[in-house]
Amino acid sequence: MRQPWRVAVVGGGIAGLAAAVRLRDSAPAGTEITVYEQSGALGGKLRTGELAGQPVEFGAESFLMRDPAGAESAAVALARRLGLGEKIVHPTVGQAALVIDGGLRPIPGGTLVGVPGDLERVATVARPAADADIDGGRPLVGPDADVSVGALVRSRFGNEVVERLVDPMLGGVYAGRADDLSLVTTMPALARTARVEHTLVGAVRAAQAAAPRAPGAPVFGTLAGGLSTLVEAAVTASGATVRRDAAVRELTATETGWRLTVGPTRDPELVDVDAVVLAVPARPAARLLAGPAPSVAAGVGALDYASVALVTMALPQPRLPELSGFLVPSTEGLLIKAATFFTTKWGHLRRPDGLAVVRASVGRYGEEAHLQRPDADLAATVHRELSAVLGTPLPAPVDGHVQRWGGALPQYAPGHADRLAAARTALRAAHPTLVLAGAGYDGVGIPVCVRSGETAAEEIITALGGSAR
């Protein structure tokens, strides 16, 4: 293999940047790493903006502190690696609410993304079906099977638990519906126990016991300076050459690696590299794979995405409850899907002048038509709905921002994990120096995407002949 290695990272989101950092740390010294990002800014769905002089997340807001096995999450490990460990802060108010019949009720504790392990604890919000969760003498889910979360929970606990608890909680992460989302991909811990346990209560309890949480240990963290500081620090640590406004339009296999076609059709740039980390969402990934690996492209391209808009407003001294925010079941008929009271939830953002920053998320999978409305219309509707839910007219905002994220949140249909594994296996066999990473493949979330980027980097290093360090 020619030295130094030349590795292209396509996609400057957190997955691509985590791959670049891992390549710098583990590939031979002198490896030339170039990050190609089609937009003018790095970070992808991580974007810290400003409202009324206050840093605000216009994309992802926080990360899980622990991975499913209970160890430090990959996002926390990356922050530490980048010297940002001291900047990790946690919510000061963790309690959120659900909108039920137009008013707020605290989200009951002790559930797994809304799926209860103790039916009595959720009685304030939803009445579980009586006697449906019986032991039928066999595991809930077959050894290789996958089902939708909604189908499983409806069959065991009835419709209300799905509509009032599971749907809004899964919707808060995926903007999708429990009836469409894969158990294996969106709730892997529950999927594992559902293959052993005979009741859903038993499966939830077994999943909770398998990943006990230290009492008082924070679940979420963010960075005091905003998540864009993670992006900037990763770029610096990677020592990568960064190419902004540089869309990769085509990938062609060469005798020794890959040729990238970069930039506008009229004036393309051709770049030869030894290996590629493809850290872009499924649709652009499928387009790039169509030439070198058409069957893999078809598998990857089958993944659909939901679009959302985040409407953020700065309100002068509004009367807000001591809650981190609320989630809205789709049965409530509101445009708002979820709201976060930023300046209540995050103590480091509280302002002495009482200015509050509230962010509402709008848009559910299949209801994209609502997002066609102009910014001002979305903002006015959000303001009106917030006032109605809080039962008090909110003051007029002093500043506002609407961030649209088109095709942003993957909708994992049942069977996704198997389809992905088959696509990856086929890609690895045909092209070991082209590796997929990031959003849309292994799951949603900063830790998953960081881990995915790091794993891709390690696969590339192995494919190119192992690490020199």
Ligand X SMILES: Cc1cc2nc3c(=O)[nH]c(=O)nc-3n(C[C@H](O)[C@H](O)[C@H](O)COP(=O)(O)OP(=O)(O)OC[C@H]3O[C@@H](n4cnc5c(N)ncnc54)[C@H](O)[C@@H]3O)c2cc1C
The region of 134-142, 328-336, 388-396, 444-452 touching ligand X under the rule CB under 6 A is 444-452
Which residue lies nearer to ligand X by CB, 63 or 157? 63
Least distance from C-beta 339 to ligand X, angstroms?
Answer: 13
Do you know the residue count of the chain? Answer: 469
Least distance from C-beta 303 to ligand X, angstroms?
Answer: 13
Which residue lies nearer to ligand X by CB, 276 or 314? 276
Indicate whether 449 belongs to the interface with ligand X (CB under 6 A).
yes
Indicate whether 409 belongs to the interface with ligand X (CB under 6 A).
yes
d(C-alpha 455, C-alpha 40), whole Å? 26
Run of H or E residues at 24: helix 14-26
Which residue lies nearer to ligand X by CB, 224 or 388? 224
The region of 7-15, 22-30, 177-185, 331-339 touching ligand X under the rule CB under 6 A is 7-15
DSSP helix/strand/coil, 202: helix
What DSSP state is assigned to residue 197? -
Which residue lies nearer to ligand X by CB, 161 or 448? 448
d(C-alpha 313, C-alpha 301), whole Å? 36
Which residue lies nearer to ligand X by CB, 17 or 126? 17
Give counts: helices (H), strands (E), the chain. 15, 22
Residues within window 49-108 making contact with ligand X, judged by CB under 6 A? 59-63
CA angle 451, 68, 457 (to 5 degrees): 10
Binding residue for ligand X, selected from 161, 233, 234, 439, defined by CB under 6 A? 439
Which residue lies nearer to ligand X by CB, 414 or 445? 445
d(C-alpha 1, C-alpha 370), whole Å? 53
Least distance from C-beta 64 to ligand X, angstroms?
Answer: 6
Least distance from C-beta 409 to ligand X, angstroms?
Answer: 5
Indicate whether 416 belongs to the interface with ligand X (CB under 6 A).
no
Question: Would you state the structure tokens that stand for residue 330, as one six-digit string?
Answer: 């789709």
Which residue lies nearer to ligand X by CB, 315 or 444? 444
Is the distance from CB of 274 to CB of 5 less than 8 angstroms? yes
Binding residue for ligand X, selected from 7, 10, 273, 293, defined by CB under 6 A? 10
Least distance from C-beta 156 to ligand X, angstroms?
Answer: 28
Residues in contact with ligand X, shown as a per-residue x/- string from 268 to 297 under the rule CB under 6 A:
-----------xxx--x-------------
Indicate whether 126 belongs to the interface with ligand X (CB under 6 A).
no
Indicate whether 308 belongs to the interface with ligand X (CB under 6 A).
yes
Binding residue for ligand X, selected from 445, 455, 460, 461, defined by CB under 6 A? 445
Indicate whether 36 belongs to the interface with ligand X (CB under 6 A).
yes
Strands of the sheet containing 88-89, edge to edge, are: 63-64, 220-223, 88-89
Least distance from C-beta 57 to ligand X, angstroms?
Answer: 7
Nearest to 61 by CA among 50, 45, 41: 45
Binding residue for ligand X, selected from 44, 171, 363, 397, defined by CB under 6 A? 44
d(C-alpha 432, C-alpha 394), whole Å? 56
Which residue lies nearer to ligand X by CB, 11 or 397? 11
What DSSP state is assigned to residue 85? G
Indicate whether 363 belongs to the interface with ligand X (CB under 6 A).
no
Nearest to 371 by CA among 406, 411, 340, 400: 406
Residues in contact with ligand X, shown as a per-residue x/- string from 15 to 34 under the rule CB under 6 A:
xx------------------
Q: Where are the beta strands (DSSP E) in 147-237?
A: 220-223
d(C-alpha 212, C-alpha 209), whole Å? 5
What DSSP state is assigned to residue 278? E
d(C-alpha 451, C-alpha 447), whole Å? 6
Least distance from C-beta 101 to ligand X, angstroms?
Answer: 27
Indicate whether 304 belongs to the interface with ligand X (CB under 6 A).
no
Is the distance from CB of 18 to CB of 78 less than 8 angstroms? yes
Which residue lies nearer to ligand X by CB, 17 or 166? 17
d(C-alpha 434, C-alpha 455), whole Å? 13
The region of 44-52, 191-199, 208-216, 251-259 touching ligand X under the rule CB under 6 A is 44-52
Cα dihedral 440, 442, 448, 451 sign: negative
Give buried/exposed letters for 44-83 (b at 16+ CB in 10 A, else e): bbbbbeebbebbbbbbbbbbbbbbbeeeebbbbbbbebbe
Least distance from C-beta 168 to ligand X, angstroms?
Answer: 15
Nearest to 63 by CA among 185, 226, 307: 226
Binding residue for ligand X, selected from 23, 248, 286, 357, defined by CB under 6 A? 248
Interacting residues with ligand X (CB under 6 A): 10-16, 36-39, 44-46, 59-63, 247-248, 279-281, 284, 308, 310, 405, 408-409, 438-439, 444-446, 449
